[in-house]
Chain A
Amino acid sequence: MRIFVPADALARALGADAVAEALVAAAAARGETVQIVRNGSRGMAWLEPLVEVDGPAGRRAFGPFAPVDAAALFEAPDAHPKALGLTAELPFLKRQTRITFARVGVIDPADLADYQAHGGLSGLRRALAMAPEAVVDEVVESGLRGRGGAGFPTGIKWRTVAGAGIGQKYIVCNADEGDSGSFADRMLIEGDPFALIEGMVIAGLAVGADRGLVYLRSEYPDAIAVLTRAVDLAREAGLLGPSVLGSGHGFDIELRIGAGAYVCGEETALLNSIEGKRGTVRAKPPLPAIEGLWGKPTVVNNVLSLATVPAILAQGAAHYRDLGIGRSRGTMPLQLAGNVRFGGLFEVPFGLTLGEIVNSVGGGTASGRPVKAVQVGGPLGAWFPPALFDTPFGYEEFAAAGGLIGHAGLVVVDDTADMLALARFAMEFCAIESCGKCTPCRIGSVRGVETIDRIAAGDAAAEPLLRDLCETMRLGSLCALGGFAPYPVLSALNHFPADFARTSEAAE
């Protein structure tokens, strides 16, 4: 009997390890032999820990599973109080189009053979048989854009690095997923680390780089452990090393661990951090594609961008490009977070409206109260009120509505949320995390907190000052930290003026 118990950090934080132990003990008590597979998460947080059992008709799901539920699983599984039916038939999964996350929650992330049995390495094998330029063309053709937030076309970035002469080049994976509401990078690494490794190898082949570095945040200890083990296994299997799969092309990967600085998710700060410096932002140009790590041409891509490349190579660019809307091609792994009933990871082609995502997929709030707003794209993303819920999920569509999709994390708040407090938090966060290099961000964020405090104290004259300050930060900051912090502040102010309209008496 094969039983799946996720080793995903969220499942473990909800007791998955104790569940695995209880299942082993319950099986032993009955004299049954079980194989426990510690898979990734299927991405349905409200059902975690989600236990699955192999059966003739497919995997059956049970959840949210507690240690006390273990014995009954062996007695009468069909009548088990936590039985959910076939995993594949669960509505939340059935509505998805999983490409990037196709194997997450399905395979054993520590088993390269399982990875290959589910389509792994077929993209790399195809890439090895192609000219490097053709690999770049395929990624350009797919329409894949940077999933970290900026949305720059991945293939175009690769073309720049490929054309940057010969000599040392690097593939750097940005796994510094610091945005609140975002956890797709973590889930991907914990559930399907070989997809990231394969994507990095393909990128190396395409641009002529033989070294890759993954910058992973220290707040993700489980992901660090899983990826460290996967890199070792890949090296043992010849997927990494002096001759990738016997091709004669060398590529290897090194892990670098962050140290709690949010700004290091900005690509040039990240490069400085790898070099052993303070994580301050570099002025651009030069672009990292021309002068990146140690001054060498460098591809800096998000985890999801790189992990999607193997599927694009395996299935062809058209398969991916034909999904989506406008200039947002393919699928996006949406992350539903905060006060939401059905939180988790939902991968679909671009184009669902925000309202469909929040209400139909997410089921509204967990508290049962009305949705007040949704912050899309992390702490630097705008708050969207229900009045904008008809906005289709796409890069340009969200920009036109005064926001951004960022890394596609969505944080839902109910009607008890104080939008002034959240606006103040955005400025406070920016002040704490500012790298200090540019004045609009370093000083502006501190002044922003003070100015919002004046509004909170009933000083209406402070509002134009706040708007002016936001404009200065937006236009004058070196990177997105100071440049985008005005998004949550101004969106809160514009869409929820009542939360900012405080009289002097009310404040006293």
Chain B
Amino acid sequence: MTLTDRVADICRAHSGTEGALLPILHAVQAEYGHVPPLALPTVAKALGVTVAEVQGVVSFYHDFRAAPPGRHVLKICRAEACQAMGGAALAEAAKARLGVDWHGTSAQGVTLEPVFCLGLCAAAPAAMLNGVLAARVDATRLGEMLAEAGA
């Protein structure tokens, strides 16, 4: 099935939903790992809006990616509660280990992203690797997490 056909299917599955754009974009990203620019005209046509409007929404929200991430996605919380417990040092350790800055993808295929609060503020600092949450993370624990994930 071509990307256009599959995206059209996703749009049809949301035809009964009011304000379906975000649910559609989430579904597209769940399937492809990102929102391919080629999908936008199909989404726009299904919803009766312009491609520019869809693009405007995609680019507004931090979650939606225009390109595929690495095989692993590591999110580290940058917010105040995590800063209070060494979150900034943890982020620096992650950058050094992976050899990338925020939003970069390491040679081993780990994409490093900032996140502002995972709601684990009473057991800071917090991180999320491939959708799995971790609390009270230090550099050692971070290394273990990456090793367990094979990264």
Contacts and interface: CB of A to CB of B under 8 A. Distances in A.
Interface of A: 9-10, 12-14, 45, 48, 177-183, 186, 218-222, 256-262, 273-280, 294, 335-340, 343-345, 366, 375, 379, 409, 411-414, 417, 422, 425, 429, 432-433, 435
Interface stretch (B3-11, B93-101, B120-128): B120-128
Contacts of B122: 10, 45, 183, 335-337, 340, 343-345
B84 interface: yes
A6 B121 CA distance: 17
A14 B141 CA distance: 11
B73 to A, nearest CB: 13
A257 B27 CA distance: 11
Contact of A178 (B23, B47, B116): B116
A279 B61 contact: yes
A261 B120 contact: no
Interface string B107-145: 000000001111111111010000101111000000000
10 contacts: A10-B119, A178-B117, A275-B18, A275-B19, A276-B22, A277-B21, A278-B56, A338-B80, A343-B121, A425-B83
B26 interface: yes
Specify which of B64, B81, B126 lies most central, judged by the most chain A CB atoms within 10 Å of its CB. B81
B145 to A, nearest CB: 11
Contacts of B83: 338, 413, 422, 425
Contacts of B56: 278
Contact of B82 (A180, A183, A375, A417): A180
B80 A219 contact: no
Contact of B121 (A48, A335, A417, A422): A335
A276 B116 contact: no
Nearest to A432: B116
B151 interface: no
Nearest to B84: A338
A291 to B, nearest CB: 16
A375 B119 contact: no
Contacts of B92: none
A273 B64 CA distance: 14
Contact of B85 (A183, A278, A339): A339
B66 to A, nearest CB: 14
B38 interface: no
B63 interface: yes
A170 to B, nearest CB: 10
B74 interface: no
A429 B116 contact: yes
B126 A13 contact: yes
B39 interface: no
B79 interface: yes
Contacts of A221: 131, 133
Contacts of A422: 80, 83
B67 interface: no
B61 A261 contact: yes
B57 A278 contact: yes
Nearest to A436: B60
A258 B126 CA distance: 20
Given A10-B135, A219-B119, A276 B21 contact: yes
A182 B80 contact: no
Contact of A260 (B57, B62, B82, B84): B62
A430 to B, nearest CB: 11
Nearest to A179: B117
A258 B77 CA distance: 17
Nearest to A180: B79
B20 interface: yes
A276 B19 CA distance: 5
B90 interface: no
Specify which of B19, B117, B118, B123 lies most central, judged by the most chain A CB atoms within 10 Å of its CB. B117
B25 to A, nearest CB: 7
B69 to A, nearest CB: 14
Specify which of B26, B133, B134 lies most central, judged by the most chain A CB atoms within 10 Å of its CB. B133
Contact of B79 (A14, A48, A256, A379): A379
Given A339-B85, A411-B121, A261 B62 contact: yes
Contacts of B133: 9, 12-13, 221-222
A182 B63 contact: no
Nearest to B124: A338
Nearest to A272: B19
B18 A259 contact: no
Nearest to A48: B123
A181 B62 contact: no
A179 B117 CA distance: 7
A163 to B, nearest CB: 25
A9 B120 contact: yes
Given A261-B62, A279-B60, A429-B116, 9 more contacts: A9-B120, A177-B119, A273-B22, A276-B47, A278-B56, A279-B61, A338-B121, A344-B122, A375-B80
8 nearest interchain CB pairs? A343-B122, A276-B21, A180-B79, A338-B84, A259-B61, A337-B121, A45-B122, A260-B62
Specify which of A280, A339, A345 lies most central, judged by the most chain B CB atoms within 10 Å of its CB. A339
A13 B20 contact: no
Contacts of A425: 80, 83
Nearest to A223: B119
Contacts of B19: 256, 274-276, 294
Specify which of B19, B20, B26, B62 lies most central, judged by the most chain A CB atoms within 10 Å of its CB. B19
B22 A256 contact: yes
A277 B80 contact: no
Contacts of A345: 122
Contacts of A277: 21, 57
B60 A278 contact: yes
Given A219-B115, A276-B19, A411-B84, A183 B63 contact: no
Contacts of A180: 77, 79-82, 116-117, 121
A179 B129 CA distance: 21
Contacts of A218: 26, 63
